[in-house]
Chain A
Amino acid sequence: MVWKIDRGVCLRCGACVSVCPVLALELQESGVAHDAGKCTLCTACEKICPVGSIRVEK
C-alpha cells in the first residue's frame, strides 16, 4: 500500500489533517506534509479530501 497526493489538485485546505488519527499529516506553507513512518494507511484523509487529491493505493 502506498499514500499518494496529487499536488496539482490539492487546495491546501487541511481537511485531511483534521481527520488523521495519528498526526501523520501537517499543513505547511508548501502543502501537505506526509510522514510515512506514522501513517497507518487508514484512508480517512482520502475519504475527506474535497477534491479527491489523495489516493491510498493497494
Chain B
Amino acid sequence: MIKDSYDVIVAGGGPGGSSVAKHLAKLGHSVLMLEKRQEIGAPKRCGEGLSVNTAGIIGKIPPWCIAQKINAAKVYSPDRSYVLMDFGGDSKGYVVERKALDKWLAFEASRAGARVMAKSEVTGVLKDGNSVTGVRATILGGGEVEIRSKVLVAADGVESTVARKAGLNTANKLVNLDSGFQYEMSSLNMEDDKKIILYFGNEIAPRGYIWIFPKGHDVANVGIGTAMAEKPPKHYLDAFIEDNPDIFGSASIIEVNSGGIPVGGFLDNMVLDGFAVVGDAAHQVNPIHGGGLKEATIAGEIAAKVISKCIKNGDVSKRALSEYNRIWWSQRGKKLRMVEKLRHVTEKLTDDDLNMLVKELTGDILSELTRGNKFSALAKVLMKKPKLIVLARHLL
C-alpha cells in the first residue's frame, strides 16, 4: 500500500497537512500524508468557531461538519457590560464539528490523489548532508520503514518535533504560547444559542478570555485560554463554571480538551533543503483569537504551489523553497505580525481598561481589529487615559 518514495511526504493529517496534500496531489504529484493518531481529527484541540470567511477559504464545507450556525459574538467586559459583533446574517459564522471537518479535509486530500494513512507516525527524518531526503516511519503501528521524499512537509501541529528533527528549530517561547482548556458540555442554559459569548477579565481569565461556543440548543464548547497565569487554565474555568450556576447548574461534561495555542513567534524561515513546515507547527495562528484553521489552510496552499514549482524545476534547495517564506510573509505574515502587536497591547490592559474599551468600541471595529485593521480607532480610545498613551503609540 505504501511505496518506497514519493514526491512529497506530509507529516500530520490536520487541516494544514490536508491542505498541502490536496493541492500537491491536484498539481500531479505523488503524496503520502501520515497521521500518528488512530483517528484524524480526534481528540480536538479547538473551540470550533469559524467565520464564514474562513469557511470559504477552507472550501465547500458539507452540512454534516457544521454543528451550529452563528449570527453574532457577544463580548463581555469584566463589569459585565458587553459589545455585540454582529456577523450580518444568520449563517455568517459556524461552530463546526472538528472531528468531522478534519476527516472531510482528509477525504478531500485523498480524493485529489494523495495517499493518507492514519495511525502511521514519522519517527525520524532522513538526511543526506544538509538535505532532507525522507522519513523513518511506523505504518499502522508496524515496524519502522524508510520512505524517500523530494520534499518533506512538517504539519505535525503544536507538538511538532519533525521540524526540529529535520534541523529547523521551531520551539516556541513560553510567552508566545497560550494555555487552553475546554469542556464540551450539555444541558446548558445558554442566553442565546446562536451567539458565541466571550468573557474578558484578568481575574476570570488572566491575559485571555473564556468562551462559550454553542453546538446546539443546550450543547457548547466552554473553554478558556490564559497566558503566564499563576494557575493552570483549568483552575480558572472550573471557578467560572462554579460561579455561574444559572448557565451551568445542570450541565454535564461530555468531553475534555486541552492544548497549547501559539499566539506569536512567527518564523522568518520555514524551509530547509527538501523541507518545509506549515500550520501550528510553524506558529501560523491568529494571535488575537488563537484560530489556526484559516492560516494553516492558506499556508498549505502557498507551500504546495512553491513545492510543486521547485520539484518541476528539479531544485528543492532551501534557496528555491524560500519563495514560500516570501509569499507567506507578504500575504499573511505582515498582517499577523500587526495582530501580534495588538495582542501585546491588549495583554497589558487592566480590568478597568477593558471595561472602558467595551463601552467605547463598536462591534464592527472589534471585528476589524481581529483582522489587523483599524488600529487607529483603538489607539484613539486608549489615548483617553493618560497611562495608556504609551500603549496607544504602539498601534500607530
Contact = CB atoms under 8 A, between A and B. Distances in A.
Interface of A: 11-21, 23, 26-27, 29, 44, 47-52
Contacts of A29: 36-37, 121
Contacts of B257: 11, 13
Contacts of B180: 15, 50
B10 interface: no
A13 B262 contact: no
A13 B259 contact: yes
Interface stretch (B58-66, B92-100, B158-166, B364-372): B158-166
Contacts of B121: 29
Q: A-side binding surface: helix, strand, loop or mixed?
A: loop
Contacts, number: 83
Interface in B123-174: 157-161, 164, 171-174
Interface stretch (B226-234, B312-320, B338-346): B226-234
Given A13-B158, A15-B179, 8 more contacts: A13-B257, A13-B258, A15-B259, A17-B159, A17-B160, A26-B159, A47-B174, A50-B232
Contacts of A16: 260
Interface in B230-250: 231-235
B259 A20 contact: no
8 contacts: A11-B43, A11-B257, A13-B259, A14-B157, A17-B160, A19-B173, A52-B231, A52-B232
Contacts of B267: none
B45 interface: yes
Contacts of B174: 19, 44, 47-48
B256 interface: yes
A34 B25 CA distance: 37
B177 interface: yes
A52 B231 CA distance: 8
A51 B234 contact: yes
Contacts of A48: 174, 177, 179, 260
A27 B258 CA distance: 14
A18 B160 contact: yes
Given A13-B258, A50-B181, A51-B258, A21 B234 contact: no
A7 to B, nearest CB: 14
A11 B177 CA distance: 17
